[in-house]
Amino acid sequence: MEPEIIPAILVTEREELLKRISLVKDFVKTIQIDVMDNVFVPNKTVGLAELKQLPEASYEFHWMVKDPVKWIEQTPGDHMHLVHVETISSIEEVKKAVEKAGGRLGLALNPETPLEKLLPLVPEAEEVLVMTVHPGFSGQKYIQEMEIKIKTLREKYPRLDIEVDGGLNKETIARAYAAGANLLAVASALFSADDIRKAVEELRKSALAGDSL
């Protein structure tokens, strides 16, 4: 599967959110917006008010929140909703919320959570996100040990969209892609670049180099 670079936006203000969307929306297929409630993770980002009337683009919302159903219900549109398995008490409730909002369901997994907690739910989702950092803050170091989870998922589900989020740069992105991730969420290594369009292409080339690992 071809690698796709997904800009991950972690900000606290709408103005900065719109700025970052404008920097990338013309040359990527999907934009990830990280949403944190300072409960599920120890940080708080943009909330529902800041997510209204966003520029036209394909978005995935990474819900790092305690009660994702309430957030999803208030975010209508054909979006990907990445929900942490650690927050799910009823997969049926989550599915209903996603359907009501007109979106699609993805599942996310924290580093400390066993893959076994995710596997029974995979058939319910279109996408799976494996966190390669502890969620909450940008700029953390890539946790290489998570590659075994990626490899196991790829072996079990050859056509599944598998995303990796956390600590990706030109070096680690090759490892993640070689392990089986085809969707690659990048924050610091992308938005710190002088030429973001060029950075997207260079990261994609670096990912493809993982085929030789």
The set of catalytic residues is 34, 165
Closest by CA position to 109, among listed 90, 91, 81, 83: 83
Amino acid making up residue 46: V
Strands, E assignment, 37-109 = 59-64, 80-84, 104-109
Residue pair 143/166 in contact (Cβ under 8 Å)? The answer is: yes
Residue pair 162/152 in contact (Cβ under 8 Å)? The answer is: no
Place of tokens 């996310």: 108
